[in-house]
Amino acid sequence: MPTVFFTTVDVFTSNRFEGNPLAVMTDARGLSDGDMQKIAAEFGYSEVTFVLPPENPENTARVRIFTPTMEVPFAGHPNVGTACVLGGRGEVFGKPIGDVMRFEEKAGLVTVGLRRDGDRVASAAIRAPGPLVAGRTVAEETVARCISIDASQVSARVHHPVLASVGLSFIVAELRDLNALAAARPNLACFQDAAGPTPEGNHDFSLFVYVRRAEAPWAIRARMFAPLDNVPEDPATGSASAALAAYLVSLEPEADMNVSLTIEQGVEMGRRSVIGVDVVKTNGVVTDVTISGACVEVMRGEVAY
């Protein structure tokens, strides 16, 4: 019976059993699309990655990312975690690697930089593959129903809830305070109603809610709910953090900015995560978004298929 080897890591943390777990299939050759989807569903993590030889030999690897229900074009914590795993091995498909890797993904080419502490990979930083795209707005009442809070607890002081993306789309919405954030509970039926009947709609309503204080606007607490992807809550969501950070910086009146944000997530789940995001805005346009975080190895094993 054929097998594929995997390594699991906790991402956006330096502490085992915190952060966001990820399984990395370090050599996915021989796996079909269906095999990948079944393995991702079996793990039940928010994402699982599958590493394949690159189509362009100048790149490091081709990386496919699966949630328990579907393949996605890009996500933050899978890239950080995959980079940490491969960086610790020292080579990929027989080629030695240094401190910069390039992953071929459905959303485009993702460049990853590693920071090492001696022989150990301490953290990784990735550049979001897409430009900031802000789409439709969503009613505060809809967000409130989806997370079982009163509509008065959804704030529109800076922006209305909006679909934002730098490679993967999320509805981002500000809540009034930490009490509202703590009270949030996903309501599957409301998510289904909000997503609508279109085939892609059921996966276009992941909800990233956050709180920030006026005196510390770039220190943010957040939670992410995606029950339509069989992820009731995610402890760390780099792609959502990047989309939110880029969108908030885009709203600032200054035409040129370099902003470093810290987004704390997963606290209410007992899996605290810390996500760093750096955003560059030039001539009024967000040009670069970089996501960074630490990573710690947890398990190694093999999957029979």
Instruction: Cite the active site residues.
Output: 47
Q: How many CB atoms lie within 10 A of CB 219?
A: 12
CA atoms of 196 and 178, how far apart (whole Å): 29
Which residues make Cβ contacts (< 8 Å) with residue 198, sequence separation at least 6? Answer: none
- As a whole number of Å, the CA-based R_g of the chain is 19
CA atoms of 70 and 292, how far apart (whole Å): 25
SS3 220: strand
CA atoms of 297 and 140, how far apart (whole Å): 39
SS3 259: strand
Which residues make Cβ contacts (< 8 Å) with residue 75, sequence separation at least 6? Answer: 47, 65, 168, 237, 238, 239
Helix axes 76-89, 238-251, angle to 10 degrees: 120
Residues 98/87, Cβ–Cβ less than 8 Å: no
User: First CA to last CA across the chain, in angstroms?
Assistant: 7
Residues 24/9, Cβ–Cβ less than 8 Å: yes
Counting Cα atoms < 13 Å in the Cβ hemisphere of 68 gives 15
